[in-house]
Amino acid sequence: MILSCQNISKEFVEDTILSNVSFHIEDYEKAAVVGINGAGKTTLLRIIVGELTPDLGQVVLSKGKTLGYLAQNAGLQSKNSIYDELLSVKRNLTLLEEQIQATELAMKDAGDAALAALMEKYSLLTHQYESGGGYTYKSELTGVLKGLGFSEEDFSKSIETLSGGQKTRVALGKLLLLSPDLIILDEPTNHLDMQSIAWLETYLLNYKGAVLIVSHDRFFLDRIAGKIIELDQSRATVFAGNYSDYAKKKEQLRISAWNAYLNQQREIRHQEEVIEKLRSFNREKSIKRAESREKMLDKMNVLEKPIEVQADMHLSLTPRLKSGNDVLSIEGLSKAYGSQKLFADVSLEIKRGEHVAIIGDNGTGKTTLLKILNGLLPADSGSFRLGANVEIGYYDQEHHVLHSEKTLFDEISDDYPYLTNTEIRNVLAAFLFTGDDVFKQVSDLSGGERGRVSLAKLMLGNANFLILDEPTNHLDIMSKEILEDALNHYEGTVLYVSHDRYFINRTASRILELTGKTFVNYIGNYDYYLEKKNVPQTGKSAAQPTSSTADSESKADWKQQKEEQARLRKRENDLKKCEERIAKLEERMRELDAETEKPDVAVNVARLQEISKEQAEIDTALNGLYELWEELAE
């Protein structure tokens, strides 16, 4: 075991973020932390690396082991070039090179006496150099940079001139070259294109150490993780397997928890009805039976209602108007920035109902194409044409449809004045903005929150052609899955840019890969695209039963269902007869009680004996009927 987290708890003001979180990471294990935004994933990582102190609990790193941490937005500050910054990680080897060179020079002029000592030193230095990877570190460094999407022309660029995402990639490269015993990564794929993500997956799978990742990239987690640590309601649950394994087990647990809760609620209601009925019989023994059941009910450990987070957010994207069959036609479209040609002579068509994903490396022009189609940028040459009744709904990465000075409530009400206050709150609640959240200013929102507001406005727009630029960026896994379900039920047309392979796999019916300054067409989802690109895939399809087997199973189910229905009808019939018999005997008991109060009977000893005997028989019969009724009522 390389890392142990024991009962970690953390609060900010009065908000409990983590509560008794415990798990461990074994040597060479690849594990992932998942949870909705705000669940405490980054907080947990910062506690593990010592940037935050837990209120309770402790983090134990095995003696002599090292760890490296990459934050979400690593603020790398350096005057070095990209290459020199990564080279600084190998400073021990460059120092050895200098010492080896100095020793070689000294050996040329050394006398016999000094030469032996220098040769021994030289032998020691070269051994250290070789065992430390001295003959491979430059190719390793170049491989890491290229794998993370840097070209050789980029190597000489100064760190100061890079964007935030590029700086994070450089920081990731440094961490990989450091090769600590435990690598901890917070959203490492955020600033990588698909090719770089695939490279990182392979690198981490072959890494000779342990890895702990926070990521919303489910495809990435499926390939890397062998253990999932879920943070939910401030607590941690550990699942064996990758993300898909976790999702299946989580769904099974969710269904089991709901079934247990619903079954117990049914049992409670049933017992309350039985108690009420027993009391209504108004006999001493039936009342005692009711009291006994009440005591049992009081001792029952009542299950809490499971929290259905996903039920809070339902997207419904409904086109106001049906478009023509031809939605978009592009002919000879070209675009370049100076000498950098993005794409040239592109021609393609999109039909109504298609869900088309555009993929490709960063900087190839994917977002540029979307901006051209939305009239935000001019094309250099070529043209495009929208079909009849086509109404575009555009979602961009920068969320230009939002006004930073407005509150969320005003953002919706100003654009859709016909909505009532309740309707506006319901729309925002569907995107997880409840209570006073609706009065937050747009300028105070996180990237993920702005994305959800933009999606809310897109939903209200009733467009029939959605053009989306990285719609899953900054969304947590739950929000991604809800958006996927909405798009899969959407009757309009969708064209989107995304590097989220899991999202593409679930929502795309066609893929356009932007490569070599043109688009290559694939009719299928991401799995189909990989198959055609000759990337090996794993996974088995479940065997389907033969028709004869299915028919026999269906007949058996039908027969069992009929038998169960017959059993229930008989039980209800018997219960009704039992209640009628109890009612008749109780009525007879009341008649006998009334007769004993008559003056002429009170002095008639023989009649009183007869009445007493009949009452005893009725009392015995009633006791048996009460027991039978309880059995039938169960």
pLDDT tens sequence across 250-305? 888 888 888 888 888 888 888 888 888 888 877 777 888 888 888 888 888 888 88
| Residue 310, CB-side half-sphere exposure with 13 Å CA sphere | 15
Q: What is the pLDDT of residues 505-530, one digit of tens each?
A: 999 999 999 988 889 999 999 988 98
Q: Tokens 């230009």 label which residue?
A: 400
The per-residue pLDDT for 241 is 93
pLDDT tops 60 at residue 122: yes
The per-residue pLDDT for 284 is 79
Q: What is the pLDDT of residues 390-410, one digit of tens each?
A: 988 888 876 667 888 899 999
Q: Average the pLDDT over 104-128 and give the result.
A: 85
The per-residue pLDDT for 468 is 92
Question: What's the CA gap between 301 and 424, in Å, rounded?
Answer: 40
Q: What is the pLDDT of residues 445-472, one digit of tens each?
A: 877 778 788 877 877 777 889 999 988 8
Burial label, 254 (beta-carbon count in 10 A; 0-12, 13-18, 19+): middle
Strands 56-61 and 3-12, bridge-based pairing: antiparallel
Q: What is the pLDDT of residues 554-612, one digit of tens each?
A: 667 777 778 888 888 888 888 888 888 888 888 888 888 888 888 887 778 888 888 88
Question: What's the CA gap between 378 and 372, in Å, rounded?
Answer: 6
Mean pLDDT score of the chain: 85
pLDDT tops 70 at residue 307: no
Over pLDDT 90: what percentage of the chain?
29
Which is higher by pLDDT, 231 or 165? Answer: 231
Question: What's the CA gap between 186 and 73, in Å, rounded?
Answer: 9
Q: Tokens 């461990």 label which residue?
A: 24
Q: What is the pLDDT of residues 234-249, one digit of tens each?
A: 899 999 999 999 989 9
Strands 210-214 and 182-186, bridge-based pairing: parallel
Neighbouring-strand partners of residue 186 = 214
Burial label, 137 (beta-carbon count in 10 A; 0-12, 13-18, 19+): buried
The per-residue pLDDT for 311 is 46
pLDDT tops 50 at residue 535: no
CA dihedral 254→260→265→270, nearest 10 degrees, is 150
pLDDT tops 50 at residue 543: no
Tokens standing for residue 51? 């940037």
pLDDT tops 60 at residue 550: no
The per-residue pLDDT for 548 is 53
Q: What is the pLDDT of residues 37-67, one digit of tens each?
A: 778 899 999 999 899 999 999 999 999 999 9
pLDDT tops 60 at residue 313: no
Structure letter (DSSP) for residue 307:
P
Question: What's the CA gap between 343 and 75, in Å, rounded?
Answer: 33
Q: Average the pLDDT over 72-87 and give the result.
A: 84
The per-residue pLDDT for 540 is 34
Nearest to 71 by CA among 168, 174, 194, 150: 168
Neighbouring-strand partners of residue 25 = 3
Collapsed DSSP state (helix, strand, coil) of residue 386: strand
Which is higher by pLDDT, 178 or 74? Answer: 178
Which is it for the CA torsion 418, 421, 425, 426, positive or negative?
negative
Buried b (16+ CB within 10 A) or exposed e, 153-190: ebbebebeebeeebbbbbbbbbbbbeeebbbbbbbbbb
Which helix (H) or strand (E) segment holds residue 520: the answer is strand 518-522
The per-residue pLDDT for 553 is 61
Q: What is the pLDDT of residues 152-199, one digit of tens each?
A: 888 988 988 888 878 888 889 989 998 899 999 998 888 888 888 889
Q: Tokens 């010592």 label which residue?
A: 50
The per-residue pLDDT for 552 is 64
pLDDT tops 70 at residue 629: yes
Q: Tokens 């016909």 label which residue?
A: 418
Question: What's the CA gap between 523 and 199, in Å, rounded?
Answer: 25
Collapsed DSSP state (helix, strand, coil) of residue 105: helix
Which is it for the CA torsion 129, 133, 139, 145, positive or negative?
negative
Which is higher by pLDDT, 622 or 141? Answer: 141
Burial label, 81 (beta-carbon count in 10 A; 0-12, 13-18, 19+): middle
What pTM was computed for the model? 0.70
